[in-house]
């Protein structure tokens, strides 16, 4: 799927939500973003495996679990999106907890990400370290956009989870850039919502994408 998407000129995101510590995090990073050493016919070869353009990871293990991904991204010109404020209903059980200084956990994670990615800001004005920020929490997204002006937001929660154009608007910067809005079930299962059979899958998906595009254009 990754190879097919890239053959069409698309930028790919492996929604793997990977992470671990130390050498294991490095192995994940190399497998999804870089190259790894393998043996073929008793000869060692170095080759890409998934070769995604970017990946989602869980940054709640801290810096040593994030650093290997940043290093691979910097080496191969790729990107990473780290979980900050997720779109699921129970995300607030942990992410909305407040610490002694009054900040919530997701705000502290945003501050850390802004710091970790500061040295990777490119000509576009954005760092290679992006953030996953759910459309289902627009108020929190507004705070995070202020905290992380140089991070690209990957925005789940649009469509099937209830998010609309007004909900994702806070994820963009004032210039209309800085966010990638994701709709999965709203496109994948559009044929069911439209009362069509599976044979009309492509037609329904195409219609859903155009409707999403039209909806998002109302933001600007």
Catalytic residues: 17
Task: Please answer whether residues 12 and 2 qualify as being in contact, where contact means their C-beta atoms are separated by less than 8 angstroms.
Answer: yes
Q: Is the backbone of residue 102 left (phi > 0), alpha (psi -120 to 50) or beta? A: left
Question: What's the distance, CA 98 to chain centroid?
Answer: 24
Radius of gyration of the chain (CA): 19
Q: Distances in Å between the alpha carbon of 62 and those of 58, 94, 128, 214? A: 9, 15, 17, 39
Task: Please answer whether residues 199 and 173 qualify as being in contact, where contact means their C-beta atoms are separated by less than 8 angstroms.
Answer: no
Query: How many CB atoms neighbour CB 204 within 10 A?
Result: 21
Residue 194 β-bridge partners: none
């Amino acid at each position: 799927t990754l190879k097919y998407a890239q053959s069409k000129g698309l930028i790919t995101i492996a929604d793997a939500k990977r992470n671990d510590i130390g050498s294991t995090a490095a192995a994940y990073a190399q497998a999804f973003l870089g190259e790894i050493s393998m043996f073929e016919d008793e000869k060692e070869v170095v080759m890409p495996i998934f070769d995604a353009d970017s990946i989602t990871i869980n940054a709640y293990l801290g810096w040593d679990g994030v650093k290997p991904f940043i290093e691979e991204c910097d080496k191969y010109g790729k990107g990473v999106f780290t979980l900050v404020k997720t779109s699921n209903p129970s995300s607030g059980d942990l992410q909305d907890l407040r610490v002694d200084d009054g900040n919530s956990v997701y705000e502290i994670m945003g501050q850390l990400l802004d710091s970790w990615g500061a040295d990777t800001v490119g000509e576009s004005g954005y760092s290679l370290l992006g953030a996953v920020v759910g459309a289902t929490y627009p108020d929190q997204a507004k705070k995070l956009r202020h905290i992380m002006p140089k991070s690209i937001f990957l925005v789940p929660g649009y469509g099937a989870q209830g998010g609309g154009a007004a909900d994702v608007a806070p994820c963009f910067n004032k210039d209309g850039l800085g966010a990638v809005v994701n709709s999965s079930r709203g496109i994948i299962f559009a044929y069911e919502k439209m009362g069509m059979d599976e044979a009309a899958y492509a037609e329904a998906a195409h219609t859903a994408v155009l409707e999403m595009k039209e909806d998002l254009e109302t933001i600007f």
